[in-house]
Chains A and B, each alone.
Chain A
């Protein structure tokens, strides 16, 4: 779908998807990638899988609630995709009224309902994560013994619980405007479209952090394992997640600097937004310091994890620029924004998800993936991504707005480069999918702990037994205490044997 859009934009004229379809496809692309890929895969799948394992619990706190949350995703997804057959929603994933209330009713209502279903699923999930993390850690595990992914999920769940209900409220009001003829956001009836924007972004800016914080956590867990070195500044990384979560709630109007917002408000949100650079910077610097002087195993999960840091940095730097009101007024709703959020959500979140999949693949399937094809995937991903999205910064600055199917012919060459990049990106998923499917049954057996990692999920069998642990797991080291048992490992004893020994002593 995304490559379809790029194919359309290879030439300045609408000749592939056409005017009407393009807006439908762009709305679905945004909605699917956010609500059906990054949010469920990142916060849903990984959190559900890893939290109980990492804290030594048998299951989540509310298994039935969890099942409901999970089974809400497929109907939501099918409903959204059904709009391809009936009528596509054409108002973008933001669905600003009055456009969203004055164009196709069926498509827009389908969109609202499916997002409501997926949003509810996400709220139920968050409630579950929070309860599990607070009450079900094994004896002896304090907050400061938790892997950083757990800290990130604490921050993420709080964000989901506070902000998602507001989106639900906004969408319900929008649907009343759409089908019942009310005028909450309709200026011809005395409503105000700006109110919708405030409500929408009160969720949708935190949503960005909902989509990136879990990956911050995963990266903080993956880097130390393959660098064989403790995470640099555990406490700082843990608290910076909470700081981002808090600041993330008070920056929403930076999406509205050119909208109906007064000057003082623009200034307040500029300063709050800039402040986020500080905790985010702490994380980036700490990650670099973690790999610095380590003994890097440059395998596929490590490459994706380092790639995450490299790509996310660019998204972070352009993010600070965008916080500045006078500059944002120029580039708002242009390809500069498109480049920025793809660096955060694709270069960041999706690269992070890939790192997570490769890192925990042996745990999930009990088998190793093929290293060579994993690396091929990484290089295609990295090259294709930068080729596709880096030139978009310049496009935006030069004057190309986003969400257009037709553009000034002077931008044709650069757009062609972007399209080539997107085709490489599309092809990069082929080795990934084949590798994942093939290795699941044919890959070499992985054993409990192929990476010699220290967090609890590696203490159980791969894949984990029913109720996760055959015997009660034991917390015998901090999550990142690499480099301490140096002599013992030189003794040629594996982590498993060490574990046995510790258990015997207890």
Chain B
């Protein structure tokens, strides 16, 4: 006896659904999630992977079946059936994608809002242009426009999540991208470093600027990225969670050594972070602030160190940066 088509179709549907659900959750394509924001993005990604896997199996499966089942039989030169369409079916496959994309839009909106993307302090774009201070300098600096003076300064980027809106972040770091390195300044203590140290489970706010061309600050494990744009300050606020050392990658083509523009971020327990900060302050007072430019773990970042040396990022540039930094 022949099994009815409806039952076979239903079985296919069940198998595709189960396979998609499993693969959506267990694809293992994402790196470790080390910030409070990362699991939200992963949840969204896994949902989209589930839907995508389902559609992939459905469509590619139909194509493969069609190739084997509906290929021309030898000697049969007739045409296929004259089916020109099927309105209910077409409405169905217009309607289902509409529901999917509306659902995904709402879900993405929620995730983005929870991450702080819609924080009015960070997501507006009341841009104030800054004008070059000394264009003849080796790396021309930017003097801040009056935006710095206004207390209600608004930047773009990802700000505080709705729960912490209006509260200052626990740690604030000024990030400067330049060809081809990142420089991190801790404004409260004046520490300058070539790698980013942040305490776990504390709100961190980065004020990102660019010295020369576009760069992009990206930590894959935080799932956060923001372009550094010459002439304006952008904000990136997040809460690192899992201690460890993660790469900081420049993700916007910024010149010949773009691929070598890498640094690292070290997420550590708050006490370790404080200890590190104290040691840096001590070193700064001893006039050795350039030491921080070459990380202790030379083996891992020697390429970066070499590059910064190549390109003349030395005490002089740093002094200059320090100079521009004093404006705020």
Task: Point out residues on A near B: beta carbons under 8 Å.
Answer: 14, 19-20, 22-23, 90-92, 94, 96, 98-99, 102-103, 187-194, 227-236, 258-267, 270-271, 274-275, 277-278, 281-282, 284-286, 288-289, 291-298, 306, 309-310, 313-314, 317-318, 320-321, 323-327, 329-330, 332-334, 393-394, 397-399, 401-408, 480-486, 489-490
Contact B142 A289 (CB under 8 A): no
**Bound Cα distance from A14 to B84, whole angstroms:** 55
| B325 lies within 8 A of chain A by Cβ | no
Inter-subunit contact A275/B101 (CB<8 Å): yes
Are B117 and A306 in contact (CB-based, < 8 A)? no
* Chain B residue at minimal CB-CB distance from A290: B83
Minimal Cβ-Cβ distance residue in B for A23: B256
Nearest residue, chain B, Cβ from A286: B90
Spot the interface stretch: B186-194, B195-203, B216-224: B216-224
Across chains A and B, which 8 residue pairs bring their CB atoms closest together, nearest first? A187-B231, A263-B123, A404-B259, A399-B220, A483-B82, A188-B132, A229-B80, A406-B259
**Stretch with Cβ within 8 A of A (4 or more), from B4-12, B55-63, B281-289:** B55-63
Inter-subunit contact A262/B63 (CB<8 Å): no
Inter-chain contact B83/A232, CB cutoff 8 Å: yes
Q: Which residue of B lies closest to A272 (CB)?
A: B105
Please report the total number of B residues contacting A with Cβ < 8 Å.
98
Whether the pair A98, B230 counts as a contact (CB closer than 8 A) is yes
The 20 sampled A-B contact pairs (Cβ below 8 Å) are: A23-B253, A92-B253, A96-B253, A187-B132, A188-B135, A228-B80, A232-B86, A262-B123, A266-B112, A267-B109, A294-B70, A295-B78, A309-B63, A324-B105, A325-B112, A333-B225, A333-B252, A480-B84, A483-B79, A485-B79
Task: Flag if B224 contacts A285 (CB, 8 Å).
Answer: no
**CA of A285 to CA of B107, assembled, Å:** 25
The complex places the Cα of A20 from the Cα of B258 at a distance, in Å, of: 10
Shortest distance between the CB of B312 and any CB in chain A (Å): 16
| Complex alpha-carbon distance, A185 and B106, angstroms | 35
Closest to B229 in A: A260
Q: Are A489 and B77 in contact (CB under 8 A)?
A: yes
Contact partner, A398, options B59, B84, B220, B232, Cβ 8 Å: B220
Listed stretches B41-49, B163-171, B272-280, B314-322; interface member: B41-49
Q: Could you tell me if A258 and B226 are in contact, using CB atoms closer than 8 angstroms?
A: yes
Expressed in whole angstroms, the Cα–Cα distance for A232 and B52 within the complex equals: 23
Task: Indicate if the CB atoms of A260 and B253 lie closer than 8 Å.
Answer: no
Q: How far is the CA of A404 from the CA of B59 in the complex (A)?
A: 34
A278 and B117 alpha carbons, distance in the complex (Å): 26
Docked Cα-Cα span, A236 to B160, in Å, equals: 44
Question: A228 contacts B93, CB within 8 Å?
Answer: no
Q: Which residues does chain B contribute within 8 Å of A289, judged by CB atoms?
A: 86, 89
Q: In the complex the two chains form, is B41's CB within 8 Å of A327's CB?
A: yes
Asked if B305 is at the interface of the complex by the 8 Å CB criterion, the answer is no
User: Which residues of A are found within 8 Å of B105, using beta-carbon distances?
Assistant: 270-271, 274, 324
Q: Which residues of A contact B85 (CB under 8 A)?
A: 232-236
Contacting residues, chain A, for B71 (C-beta < 8 A): 295-296, 298
Given A292-B70, A333-B216, A486-B78, verify A401-B84 contact (CB < 8 Å): no
- State whether B118 touches A263 (Cβ < 8 A): yes
Residue numbers in A under 8 Å from B158 (CB-CB): 329
Report A-chain residues with C-beta under 8 Å of the C-beta of B72.
228, 295-298
